[in-house]
Each structure stands twice: as C-alpha cells, then as structure tokens.
Amino acid sequence: MDKINQELRSGVFDGDLEKVKDALDKGADVNTKDVLTGRNVLMLAADKGKKEMVELLLNESADVNARSEGRWTVLMIAAEGGYGDIVELLIENGAEVDAENTNGKTALMRAIERGHRNVVDLLINRGADVLQVIENELNREHVTSTRMLVEKKGLEGVKNQMQEAIKQEKDPVKKLEMKIKYGKLYRKIVSMMRKETKLEDVKTVKLPRDDIRKFRIRRIVN
C-alpha cells in the first residue's frame, strides 16, 4: 500500500492525471499524508495550482478540511497561492472558510498578507469573517490592510455584521461581552478611517531666503 500511495503522491506532484487515476484504481488512499509535513495529496495539488487535479481528488472523496502540521487547511494553501479558481472549488465542496491554523491565521488573512486581492474579494463574498480579520489587523497596526477590508465591506456593512453576530448569540453574558467588544472595535475603525481621510496631501510652504532651508514640509490636518 505504501508503494501505491507513493505512486499517487508522485502523480500529483508531476501533475499527471492518468498516473493519479491509475494509483487510485489500485487502491491508493486519497487522504494519504506526508510523514513530515502532514500534508495530504489534495494540499499538494492546491499548492501547485492544479485545478483539474484538485477536482479529481475531491471527486474521489479527498478530505477538504484535513489539517497538516501547524493545522493548515487546503483552503489556506490555495488562498496563500492566489489560486482563486481553486479557492472557489474548495468552498463549493465544503471547505471551512474561517478555519484557523495554530497561529490564528485564516485563509482570508493569508490572502491579504500575500496581496491576492481577487482571493480576498472572493472569500469576503463567500462569507469569510471580516470582523475577525479587521480586529487582528488593527491590533497589529496594519492600517493599509484594515482600510482595504473596511472599504470593501463598507462601514455600514461592518456595523451590520457586528449587529448580526450579536443577534445570533443566545448567551446573555456573551452577548453583553460582544456588544462591548464590537463597540470598542467599531469606534477604533471609525477613528482610523477619519484619521486617514483627514490627512491631506503634503504641501510645501516657502520660507524667507535667509533661512538655511529652502522649504518646510508640513502635514495639514483639518
């Protein structure tokens, strides 16, 4: 069996669909994992951006929510690689959009960090938890990525998502905690957005000729 499983991994690595089909027909385990990394063949296919291979493995009942070392999922791997078509396919086949690895990272966070805006849009449209990521990015003082998320969702959209999350919580104590938490988060978001939008373009002001400097640069905040 180990030999057949190795044939399967080799076929996926080479992108050889026929070799993979042959290994599966011989009884290879579609969820076989690498001993060191814990990655299954579905993760290997996604990491290489092989959509047809991913589709084949999913049709053969590959575990779309399996975890590797560090609790990575195949969706995180595809999002990090910027493979929007594979991300879409994985979600359609039941991938958990907001799953976290051991570092608390989600697929959306990985897409943001890698600058894959197409995948960011896709994950948001597919219901990824934007509030979780906004809070994470704000705490890390990543203003640019936070602003991007808020602009995509809209302040009203962020507020509505907060209200919906609070509404869904049944435990009164947790509901109160969420109200306090999201109230602080929303004020922090608004403060950040106001600060960014009030900052005008840098302007130059001429100084007297006897000044040793020719110009002084200053930022004007309304």
Q: Is residue 74 part of a domain?
A: no
The domain in which residue 210 lies consists of 155-222
Helix, coil or strand: residue 44: helix
Give the number of domains in the chain: 1
Q: Is residue 170 part of a domain?
A: yes
The top-scoring range by mean pLDDT among 89-98, 136-145, 198-207, 208-217 is 89-98
Q: Is residue 144 part of a domain?
A: no
Q: Is residue 191 part of a domain?
A: yes
pLDDT above 60 (res 196): yes
pLDDT above 50 (res 211): no
Q: Is residue 75 part of a domain?
A: no
Of the candidates 121, 146, 144, 126, the one whose C-alpha atom is nearest the C-alpha of residue 136 is 146
In whole angstroms, how far apart are CA 19 and each of 6, 9, 10, 22, 46? 11, 10, 8, 5, 17
pLDDT digits (tens, 9 = 90+) for 28-38: 999 999 888 99
